[in-house]
Structure 1
Amino acid sequence: MIPPATKPTAKNPAKYTPRDPLKNPVNQRLPLRTRLAIALGRVVSRLLRLFGRGATTLPGRISLMVDPGLLSHLTAGRQVFLVTGTNGKTTTVRIICTLLEQNGIQITTNTSGANLDTGLATTLITAQAAIRAADRRGAGNAFVFEIDEAYFGKIADQLNPSVAVVTNFFRDQLDRYGELRTTRNLIEKGIAKIDSDIVLNADDSLCASLGRYRPEQASYFAMAPEMLTEQPARSSDEASYCTYCGERYLYNGRSYGHLGRFHCPQCGFTHPEPDLTVQVMPTDADQKEQGQQLLFRSVDGAQAQGFLPIPGIHNAYNAAAAVLALQTAGYSLPALASQLAAASPAFGRMERFPAEGREVCLLLVKNPVGMDRALEYVTA
């Protein structure tokens, strides 16, 4: 089915009033079952840690057995950011957390990488003491969660998100997800259930298509036109054909893989107008090793530069996703751009550490496009 002809626009005020992290529901009385679930989960967590176990999912699994509505009860009224997609989830979450912390907001996030419902439940129940303490102090408090693609459709609505971010779609874990469109459809189910702003990658046709039915709530980030190059189509390219009519896309330039300014010559589905673009500015070789200078341009004409201490064009996309998510929540572009310098790589993501008198850079690779990005960085 070809979607409505109305094209997503860059001006898309959300229907809801953004939740203020400084106005948390401190006096909210949790249901008895929820309080019992929290207490039991915390006991299980302490016991597991006593025996040297990680305690990242089992406490949550047991708590959810006691109260299946636990996630909804603990996130109600909070400022919640969700991040999903194939690549970049962990780094995007880390950048969002850094930017919020730079603005004085206390963060609750699943740093362990446990991104299923059980891991999220564990994160929330073990953080309750810190959350309540922040509430009593009147401090800001926000939740930032990385969500597995397959679980996003199942639990997104339970987490009461303020903003949901979808980074991209690439071939990954075929034994779990099958084809790319299967992954896209799993996430679409989650988006259909939530009433929040959604932040999407305009350069990814599969990702951009998620906003077709929600133009008033969708915001898009993209690579600046100056960063795109003419690249011939390859048989290995992913998402080469239109989501709606099956015709092969034409491109006015690509960044890498299937990301770029696409349009369908048959049904007219095309790259949406981005709300925020990012451009990697020229830097000397030494600075390039340490990160990248980014220029952000907003649809309202504002622009700002900031240094991201994480190299790689794919991380420029992640930074744009994080910045746009916070712009959507009411933060200013110049402040966000300047605060990027406080970010640091997540484990294995361009992480640097000394080893035997040398500096080592660790690059985590999970799928073919990740390997492509890693090899390009190494050979640059």
Structure 2
Amino acid sequence: MNIKLMLAVMAAKIAAFLSRMFGGKGSSLPGVVARKIYAGTLRDLAGQARQGIIMVTGTNGKTTTNNMIASVILSAGNKIVINQEGANLITGVTTAFIRYANWWGRIDCDYALLEVDEASFPKVLMEVTPQMVVVNNFFRDQLDRYGELDKTVTLVRDALKKLPEVQLILNSDDPLVAQMQQATGHRATFFGLAPQQRTETGSQQTREARFCPHCGEELQYHSYQYSQLGSFICPGCSFQRPEPEVEGFAVETVGARLRARVKYPQGEAQITLHTQGFYNVYNALAAFAVGNLMGIKEEQIVKGLLTYRPAIGRMETFSYQGKPAILNLVKNPTGYNEGLNSLLSIPGSKTVFMAVNDNDADGRDISWLWDVDFEHLASADHETDLFVCSGLRAEEMALRLKYAGIPREKITVIRELEAAIKTALEGPGQLTYLFSTYTALWPAQKILLALAEKEDTHAEGMSSVS
């Protein structure tokens, strides 16, 4: 029995209880306490996963992908550890194991599923050895914290190189991600969308990767999905979009659900997701690829994806006096653009709430708002009756909307969150769509839970499998 581990876990559990009692989430503090008492806490707890560890990293979609993988693995009857709420720094990862451990530091699990922040990825790999690593995408995010995008890509690439052996699951449509197989020498399975799945015109966004990561020539694209994701080829070397082993096509939105067909080595399936947002198909394809590599049956993978429910702020749906409300986390230009596309894809009139904070976890630099395509939103402003701007930087958000061309009479500023959310919910739109940066997200959800009912579509039927 490891006395130091036991003491660290006990102290961390007490810290978690006290944190929650005083209104905190207890998602990182227990990890901080445990690591102070015993530096080997994470290493020792992670080593108890019987079948191995799966990590998810990248810029957007880590929480959703990790939770979808969890649903797939649980559908096959496995026991898991997961940092489900998205606390993805090394302290949050440590806390996840502590939550599942008993007071003596013992964990009963088959797999540990960990979403890991890109900047923390090298630190976590020094203590935890994964069998699989999923890399979703790379976009500019919190420049004051991460620096330029190539720095983030280099951090992940160099950390992967140091692993003696690992199975990579990579997004074939993102050249910044697809390069990882050649750059690291590890075996890789690719997932992606068939070319030209995006038919709407609202995705003319800033491209994060114009040049080949290997030779520096400008990449040529046959088609885009969004941002730099698409069918690319380098005219200067042999680098091009890898043929994905798991490929989605025939993507459609049906009410509040997404459907897609999936081709994979053993056949073809139809998946249904109880969430919206075109980008979520990529997250589902990554989870499908993981399940298939693990030998999980097709029926169980499809069932697992069907039973997935969005985490806090990931297209989370509520009902206020019979009117739907959707809460969506936004943290960088690409994610916000995709949120706007999801908003505009929903028929009917809308009231839009936008909370912007600039705390450390959000990133102090909010200049990224000027790279978001709010002009696209302004071109369809007849669909939106009211814009409610809130949070610490509410005035800057309102100014950005004004310069995008939103009529001034449609914009209102209410810095106090509860009053702003209530105003939005009671707005004239048939639907309320709430955008929130990270530190405003938890308070916004708490307010919504008090004012509205959280919807659960779990009772809807299974999708077909072929």
- Structure 2 stretches of 5 or more lacking a match? 346-466
Secondary structure of residue in 2 paired with 1:105: coil
Whether contact under 8 Å (1:305, 1:334) holds in the other structure is: no
Listed as ranges, the matches of 1:245-256 within 5 Å are 245-256=215-226
Q: Which has the higher contact order (CA 8 A, sep 6+)?
A: 1
The letter of the residue matching 1:295 is R
Q: 1:343 to 1:235 in 2, by over 3 A?
A: closer
- Alpha-carbon separation, structure 1, partners of 2:42 and 2:66: 19
Match of 2:142 in 1: 173
Match of 2:197 in 1: 227
- Alpha-carbon separation, structure 2, partners of 1:235 and 1:280: 23
Whether 1:43 aligns to 2:9 is no
Listed as ranges, the matches of 1:172-321 within 5 Å are 172-194=141-163, 195-214=165-184, 217-225=187-195, 227=197, 236-282=206-252, 288-298=254-264, 300-321=265-286
Whether 1:151 aligns to 2:127 is no
Whether contact under 8 Å (1:83, 1:166) holds in the other structure is: yes
The structural deviation recorded for 1:301 is 4.7
Whether 1:119 aligns to 2:85 is no
Q: 1:157 to 1:348 in 2, by over 3 A?
A: same
- Alpha-carbon separation, structure 1, partners of 2:336 and 2:230: 19
The structural deviation recorded for 1:32 is 3.3
Q: 1:130 to 1:261 in 2, by over 3 A?
A: farther
Whether contact under 8 Å (2:196, 2:223) holds in the other structure is: no
Match of 1:66 in 2: 37
The structural deviation recorded for 1:53 is 3.5
Whether 1:82 aligns to 2:51 is no
The structural deviation recorded for 1:347 is 1.3
Secondary structure of residue in 2 paired with 1:262: strand
Secondary structure of residue in 1 paired with 2:255: helix
Q: 1:67 to 1:307 in 2, by over 3 A?
A: same
Q: 1:33 to 1:261 in 2, by over 3 A?
A: same
- Alpha-carbon separation, structure 2, partners of 1:248 and 1:175: 27
Whether contact under 8 Å (2:197, 2:251) holds in the other structure is: no
Whether 1:350 aligns to 2:342 is no
The structural deviation recorded for 1:65 is 2.0
- Alpha-carbon separation, structure 1, partners of 2:317 and 2:276: 11
Match of 1:362 in 2: 327
Q: 1:35 to 1:278 in 2, by over 3 A?
A: same
- Alpha-carbon separation, structure 1, partners of 2:27 and 2:243: 40
The structural deviation recorded for 1:217 is 1.9
The letter of the residue matching 2:298 is L
Whether 1:93 aligns to 2:66 is yes
The letter of the residue matching 1:126 is R
Whether 1:164 aligns to 2:133 is yes
The structural deviation recorded for 1:41 is 1.8
Secondary structure of residue in 2 paired with 1:227: coil
Secondary structure of residue in 1 paired with 2:178: helix
Q: For each residue in 1:136-168, what CA deviation from the matched residue of structure 2 results, as whole angstroms up to 9, or x when unmatched?
A: xxxx53211111110011212422212111110
The structural deviation recorded for 1:335 is 3.0
Whether contact under 8 Å (2:55, 2:113) holds in the other structure is: yes
The structural deviation recorded for 1:123 is 1.8
- Alpha-carbon separation, structure 1, partners of 2:205 and 2:255: 32
Secondary structure of residue in 2 paired with 1:350: strand
Secondary structure of residue in 2 paired with 1:352: strand
Whether contact under 8 Å (1:228, 1:253) holds in the other structure is: no
Q: Which moved more, 1:66-75 or 1:145-154?
A: 66-75
Listed as ranges, the matches of 1:314-329 within 5 Å are 314-329=279-294
Higher radius of gyration, 1 or 2: 2
Paired positions, count: 342
Match of 2:298 in 1: 333
The letter of the residue matching 1:173 is Q
Q: 1:296 to 1:64 in 2, by over 3 A?
A: same
Match of 2:4 in 1: 33
Q: For each residue in 1:273-323, what CA deviation from the matched residue of structure 2 results, as whole angstroms up to 9, or x when unmatched?
A: 21110124446xxxx23111111111x251111211112220000000111
The letter of the residue matching 2:293 is T
Q: 1:264 to 1:181 in 2, by over 3 A?
A: same
Match of 2:365 in 1: none
Q: Which moved more, 1:51-60 or 1:107-116?
A: 51-60
- Structure 1 stretches of 5 or more lacking a match? 1-28
Whether contact under 8 Å (2:317, 2:324) holds in the other structure is: yes
- Alpha-carbon separation, structure 1, partners of 2:122 and 2:342: 34
- Alpha-carbon separation, structure 2, partners of 1:162 and 1:223: 25
- Alpha-carbon separation, structure 2, partners of 1:112 and 1:131: 24
Match of 1:106 in 2: 79
Q: 1:77 to 1:219 in 2, by over 3 A?
A: farther
Q: 1:44 to 1:375 in 2, by over 3 A?
A: closer
Whether 1:129 aligns to 2:94 is no
Q: Which moved more, 1:357-366 or 1:170-179?
A: 357-366
The letter of the residue matching 1:74 is L
Whether contact under 8 Å (1:306, 1:339) holds in the other structure is: no
Whether contact under 8 Å (1:60, 1:118) holds in the other structure is: yes
The structural deviation recorded for 1:367 is 1.1
The letter of the residue matching 1:269 is F
The letter of the residue matching 2:122 is G
Q: For each residue in 1:105-160, what CA deviation from the matched residue of structure 2 results, as whole angstroms up to 9, or x when unmatched?
A: 2332112322111111122123202998874xxxx532111111100112124222
